[in-house]
């Protein structure tokens, strides 16, 4: 069992932190929080959305990139790991040879809810991403079969919930044409992929 350090660390120390394990941590108020390895369903949903968003970026010839598990600094000593985030080429260039933790707001962040991340995704990350001024944040919740799209309006998120055959309406990707059930079917191996 690897013990996580209890001492407080700074954001700069977090960027170079390595305990010799392959564990992933978020930095929350100077403390390292261990992220549990995702489920296969989680991986499949993230993979489907990653492929879909990359295809849409390419189709539109947008100067954007889509990354998995990159970090986003949300406070002085706070950094979150995103399931997916869409950033500009310029943002990526700034970090080309540095730790992949964005200090400016990504265009879009997607979090896929797992049983232990419900409060983190719906409450903590929601307020932190709003404070960082991330203009669009998706909460993909296979536990409840819904996708919440949060759009920043005057510093607060306006939430629209999509379910079943409803198509996701995105401000970042206005021509995206995927339905909620397509996303969750991707996470269900019995339906094939």
Question: Is 23 part of a structural domain of the chain?
Answer: no
pLDDT for the residue numbered 60: 96
pLDDT for the residue numbered 99: 83
Q: How many structural domains are present in the chain?
A: 1
Question: Is 118 part of a structural domain of the chain?
Answer: yes
Number of neighbours of residue 79 by Cβ within 10 angstroms: 22
> What whole-number distance in Å separates Cα of residue 80 and Cα of residue 86?
15
pLDDT for the residue numbered 37: 82
Question: Is 53 part of a structural domain of the chain?
Answer: yes
Question: Is 116 part of a structural domain of the chain?
Answer: yes
Q: Which domain holds residue 80?
A: 38-191
Question: Is 186 part of a structural domain of the chain?
Answer: yes
Question: Is 7 part of a structural domain of the chain?
Answer: no
User: What string of H, E and C letters represents the secondary structure of the chain?
Assistant: CCCCCCCCCCHHHHHCCCCCCCCEEEEECCEEEEECCCCHHHHHHHHHHHHHHHHHHHHHCCCEEEEECCEEEEECCEEEECCEEEEEHHHHHHCCCCCCEECCCCCEEEEECCHHHHHHHHHHHHHHHHHHCCCEEEEEECCCCEEEEEEEECCEEEEEEEECCCECCCCCCCCCCCEHHHHHHHCCHHHCC
Question: Is 120 part of a structural domain of the chain?
Answer: yes
Q: What is the pLDDT along the chain (193 residues), one digit of tens a residue?
A: 455 555 789 999 999 888 888 788 999 999 999 888 888 899 999 999 999 999 999 999 999 999 999 999 999 999 999 999 999 999 999 888 888 899 999 999 999 998 889 999 999 999 999 999 999 999 999 999 999 999 999 999 999 999 999 999 999 999 998 999 999 999 887 654 4
Phi, psi of 120 (to 5 degrees): -65, -45
Q: What's this model's pTM, rounded to 2 decimal places?
A: 0.91
pLDDT for the residue numbered 193: 42
Q: How far is CA 13 from CA 8, 10, 27, 31, 184, in A?
A: 10, 5, 10, 11, 37
104: domain CATH number?
A: 3.90.1570.10
Question: Is 32 part of a structural domain of the chain?
Answer: no
């Amino acid at each position: 069992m690897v013990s996580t350090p209890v001492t407080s660390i700074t954001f700069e120390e977090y960027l170079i932190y390595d305990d010799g394990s392959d564990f992933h941590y978020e930095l929350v108020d100077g403390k390292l929080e261990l992220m549990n390895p995702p489920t296969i369903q989680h991986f499949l949903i993230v993979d489907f959305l990653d492929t879909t968003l990359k295809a849409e970026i390419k189709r539109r010839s947008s100067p954007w990139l889509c990354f998995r598990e990159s970090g986003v600094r949300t406070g002085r000593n706070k950094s979150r790991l995103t399931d997916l985030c869409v950033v500009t080429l310029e943002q990526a260039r700034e970090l080309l040879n540095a730790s992949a933790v964005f200090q400016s707001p990504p265009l879009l962040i997607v979090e896929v809810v797992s049983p232990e991340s419900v409060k983190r995704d719906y409450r903590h990350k929601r307020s932190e991403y709003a404070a960082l001024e991330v203009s669009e944040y998706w909460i993909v919740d296979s536990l409840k079969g819904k996708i919440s799209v949060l759009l920043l309006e005057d510093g607060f998120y306006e939430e629209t919930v999509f379910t079943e055959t409803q198509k996701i309406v995105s401000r970042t990707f206005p021509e995206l044409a995927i339905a909620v059930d397509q996303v969750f079917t991707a996470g269900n191996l019995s339906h094939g992929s």
